[in-house]
Amino acid sequence: MSAAPPTPPGRRPAGAVITPTRVLAGLCLFAPFVGILWVGSYARVEPELIGIPFFYWYQMLWVLVSALLTTVAYVLVRRENRDRAQQRAEAGDPR
C-alpha cells in the first residue's frame, strides 16, 4: 500500500518519476509492514530479554527500526528533491 513513494502525477519531468532513490525510499517505508503484519514470525515467548517475552521486545525493537528506516527515506527524498531543484534552477526553470 505504501510501497510506492509519492509520485506526483503529471509533474513536468525533471527526471523520471520512478528513480532508484525513490524505489529505495519506498522499500524503507514498506519494510515495517512486512515485519509487523507477519505476526507468526514473532508470536512466541522465548527468547526473553531482561525477562520480557520475545513478542513484546521484538515489536518494540521494530519501533526503533521503523523510525530509522523512515529517517533514511526522509533523507533520501530530501536529497533527491534538492538535486532536482538545483537541476531546474540550472535549466533556468525557477518553477
Partner 1 sequence: MNGGVNGVALAVFVFFFVLVTVMGFRAARWRKAENEHSLDEWGLGGRSFGTWITWFLLGGDLYTAYTFVAVPAAVYAAGASGFFAVPYTILVYPLIFTFLPRLWSVSHRHGYVTTSDFVRGRFGSKGLSLAVALTGILATMPYIALQLVGIQSVLDVMGVGGSESTHWFVKDLPLLIAFGVLAAYTYSSGLRAPALIAFVKDGLIYLVIAVAIVYIPLKLGGFHEIFAKAGDALAQKDPATGKPRGELASGPDAQWAYATLAFGSALALFMYPHSITATLSSKNRTVIRRNTTILPLYSLMLGFLALLGFMAIAAGIKVDNGQLAIPQLFENMFPDWFTGVAFAAIGIGALVPAAIMSIAAANLFTRNIYKDFLKPGATPEQETKVSKLVSLLVKVGALVFVLGMDKTVAINFQLLGGIWILQTFPALVGGLFTRWFHRWALLAGWAVGMVYGTLAAYGVASPTQEHFGGSNAAIPGIKETGYIGVTAFVLNVLVTVVLTVVLRAVKAPDGVDETRPEDYTADAPAPAPRPAASAGAPGGDAGRPDDDRPEPVPAP
> Which stretches of the chain bind partner 1, using CB under 8 A?
1-2, 4-6, 8-11, 28-30, 32-33, 36-40, 42-45, 48, 50-56, 59-60, 62-64, 66-67, 69-71, 73-74, 77-78, 81-82, 85, 95
Question: Helices H, strands E: what count in the chain?
Answer: 2, 0
Query: Quick one: DSSP state of residue 58?
Result: H
Contact predicate 13/61, CB 8 Å: no
Pick the closer one to partner 1 by CB: 20 or 44. Answer: 44
Pick the closer one to partner 1 by CB: 20 or 60. Answer: 60
Residue with grid cell 534538492, as numbered in its chain: 82
- Nearest distance from residue 92's CB to partner 1, in Å? 15
- Nearest distance from residue 14's CB to partner 1, in Å? 11
Residue among 74, 85, 71 at smallest CA distance from 22: 74
